[in-house]
Amino acid sequence: MSSLSDVHKHKTAGKYNWEKQYSGAYQILLDTSDQDLSKKHYIQRERRIREKTKKSVSKKRLKKGLVRWLYIIVDMGMAMEIEKDYVVKDNDEKFISGSSRQQMTEIQNSGETKSVRRVEMVAQKLQEFIAEYFDQNPLCQIGVISTMEGTAEYIEMAGDNAYQLGKKLREYFETKVPRGLPSIQNSLRLAARSLSALAPDYASKEILMIYSTPYTTCDPGDIFKTMASIKDRHITCSVIGFGGEMFVLRKLTSITNGRYVVPRNTPDFHDQLMSFSRPIPSSKRNQIITPEMIQMGFPSKRADTMRSFCACHEEVTPGGYICPRCASKYCHLPSKCKICSLMLVSSPHLARSFHHLFPVDDFVDLHLPLLPEEEHDHRSTIVDLAPGEKHPVQPPSNVPTFCFGCQQRLRHSWNMRLQCPNCQKSFCVDCSDFVHGQLYNCPGCEQG
């Protein structure tokens, strides 16, 4: 006969890693006082942001492909239907601002932490990824392929219309139920055929596979031949594999200079997926070929009150952008003119792609030693002070106490601060994340 604690232990041991994390969070809630809870969550959040920022900054100035063609292959095998994942809303702010036990229970009960089928989780994250990808790489084309029952099909061919792609994906995931086994070979063939036929020579050709089925694929022929032909076509393949590492996928990523990641849990999957939105270094062949000039047009905007026939939807729509060469109208930028094949962009699009070539330098952690009082009383350092009120513990006088970005007091502890190596200004982790992830300029350096 087993006691209640034995049953509890047995249950915990059988859980997946991502389930354990949330039971762990609940444990913190039970074991600690409210103050400690908010502090622990604050530190965890800081650590996550800092890891993310560090990963995002590549110190080397490499040649990168800014005109990107990407095919996403989604495994729609049985495993996507059977496996369950947790979708958690970002409750960090709530944990910090008010973190009483009652509030925590309310968050848990309100359904903000819920278990869903893996296909639902992937569908949701994919929508976020595509929005982020188009935002980071305005000069890109994305297509999506699904694979189930040993076959592969296009959900949408490579295109530059984010709205259209999002709509197609929503329709697909609402109507299709994952079943059977996926086929790595068939889906790779389909993506490679489309990329080599449609993508221009100078474009960076990429495939990203989201694979959930553990150690199984249903292929009609020799997959190693397909891999070799993908390598010859200079296509970079990366894989996010839920079901543990597979030899064929590892081999595929290593010969094509891609990445193979196995996410630990849902937030990790989100971070890993988003990391693929940053341009990768060009393939060896693209490093060698001499750069060629690409013609681009900067269309003029037509007033929204004027309605006319557009070339993209073939409908009468308000406003739009006029191609400077053939005067046909398009609803969205960037797009490619269907009449004269001119690439139509706006200057902010080019500027946004350009920043990937010159990333902001990584901010340095100052690692100031803790003052003796702080070592005993961390709690006092996260107290929000009224304006003008003096903090109980004062840092050395030569260290700024406010973040240069948001002008907020640098919270938690005096040693949790980051400094720009060029302008020597101090920043909080949130501002550092914003500077490296969205702004792409250091406000201190820009000020001169």
Q: Which residues bind Zn ion (CB under 5 A)?
A: 310, 312-313, 323, 325-326, 331, 337, 339-340, 342, 403, 405-406, 420, 422-423, 428, 431, 442, 444-445
Helices (H), 137-183: 162-175
Provide the minimum distance between the beta carbon of 63 and Zn ion in the complex, in angstroms, as a whole number: 25
Determine the Cα–Cα distance for residues 339 and 371; give it in Å rounded to an integer.
Answer: 68
The strand pairing partners of 419, in sequence order, are 364, 426
| Closer residue to Zn ion, CB minimum distance, 80 or 410 | 410
Query: What residue type is assigned to position 149 of the chain?
Result: E
Provide the minimum distance between the beta carbon of 419 and Zn ion in the complex, in angstroms, as a whole number: 9
Provide the minimum distance between the beta carbon of 335 and Zn ion in the complex, in angstroms, as a whole number: 9
| Closer residue to Zn ion, CB minimum distance, 7 or 383 | 383
Specify the 3-state DSSP secondary structure of 36: helix
> What are the two backbone dihedrals, phi and then psi, of residue 84, each rounded to the nearest 5 degrees?
-115, 140
Provide the minimum distance between the beta carbon of 163 and Zn ion in the complex, in angstroms, as a whole number: 10
| Closer residue to Zn ion, CB minimum distance, 252 or 442 | 442
| Closer residue to Zn ion, CB minimum distance, 165 or 192 | 165
Which of 299, 129, 302 has its CA nearest to residue 210? 129
| Closer residue to Zn ion, CB minimum distance, 17 or 401 | 401
| Closer residue to Zn ion, CB minimum distance, 71 or 404 | 404
Provide the minimum distance between the beta carbon of 385 and Zn ion in the complex, in angstroms, as a whole number: 16
Provide the minimum distance between the beta carbon of 50 and Zn ion in the complex, in angstroms, as a whole number: 13
| Closer residue to Zn ion, CB minimum distance, 8 or 301 | 301
Determine the Cα–Cα distance for residues 343 and 186; give it in Å rounded to an integer.
Answer: 32
Which of 128, 206, 121 has its CA nearest to residue 165? 128
Q: Around Cβ 105, how many Cβ atoms within 10 Å?
A: 12
Contact 260, 241 (CB under 8 A): yes
Contacting residues for 77 by C-beta, under 8 A, at least 6 apart: 147, 148, 178, 179, 180, 181, 182, 212, 213, 216
Provide the minimum distance between the beta carbon of 404 and Zn ion in the complex, in angstroms, as a whole number: 7
**What is the distance of C-alpha 350 from the center of its chain?**
21
